[in-house]
Amino acid sequence: MRRPFIAGNWKMYKTPTEAKAFARELKNALADVKDRDILVGVSFVNIAGVVEELKGSNIWVAAQNMYYEKEGAFTGEVSPVQLKEAGVTHVILGHSERRHIFGETDEMINKKVKAALENGLLPILCIGELLEEREKGQTEAVCKRQVEEAYKGLSKEEALKVTIAYEPVWAIGTGKTATPEDANQVHAYVRKVLAELYDAEVAEKTRIQYGGSVKPENIDALMAQEHIDGALVGGASLKLDSFTRIVRFQ
Ligand code: PGA
Q: Is the CB of 40 under 6 A from ligand 1?
A: no
Quote the CA–CA distance of 199 and 61 in Å, as a whole number: 30
Q: Is the CB of 230 under 6 A from ligand 1?
A: no
What element of type H or E holds 20?
Answer: helix 16-30
Q: Which of 53, 97, 133, 167 is catalytic?
A: 167
The whole-number average pLDDT for the span 211-232 is 97
Given pLDDT bands bounded at 50, 70 and 90, which one contains residue 240? very high
Q: Which of 90, 95, 133, 187 is catalytic?
A: 95
Given pLDDT bands bounded at 50, 70 and 90, which one contains residue 49? very high
pTM for this model (two decimals):
0.97
111 near 101, Cβ under 8 Å?
A: no
Residue 211: beta bridge partners? 232
Quote the CA–CA distance of 175 and 219 in Å, as a whole number: 13
227 an active-site residue? no
Q: Is the CB of 218 under 6 A from ligand 1?
A: no
The reported pLDDT for the residue numbered 175 is: 85
Q: What is the pLDDT of residues 90-135, one digit of tens each?
A: 999 999 999 999 999 999 999 999 999 999 999 999 999 999 999 9
Given pLDDT bands bounded at 50, 70 and 90, which one contains residue 63? very high
DSSP 43-75: -HHHHHHHHHHHTTSSEEEEES---SSSSSS-T
**Which residue from 141, 132, 206 is spatially nearest to 169, judged by alpha carbons?**
132
Q: Is the CB of 212 under 6 A from ligand 1?
A: yes
187 an active-site residue? no
The reported pLDDT for the residue numbered 178 is: 86
Q: What is the pLDDT of residues 175-208, one digit of tens each?
A: 888 899 999 999 999 999 999 999 999 999 999 9
Q: What is the pLDDT of residues 145-157, one digit of tens each?
A: 999 999 999 999 9
Q: Is the pLDDT of residue 158 over 90?
A: yes
Most ligand 1 atoms within 8 A of CB, residue of 170, 213, 219 to mutate: 213
The reported pLDDT for the residue numbered 173 is: 86
Q: Is the CB of 167 under 6 A from ligand 1?
A: yes
Quote the CA–CA distance of 134 and 249 in Å, as a whole number: 28
Q: What is the pLDDT of residues 126-146, one digit of tens each?
A: 999 999 999 999 999 999 999
Number of Cβ within a 10 Å radius of residue 237: 27
**CA angle (240 as vertex; 78, 48 as ends), nearest 5:** 25
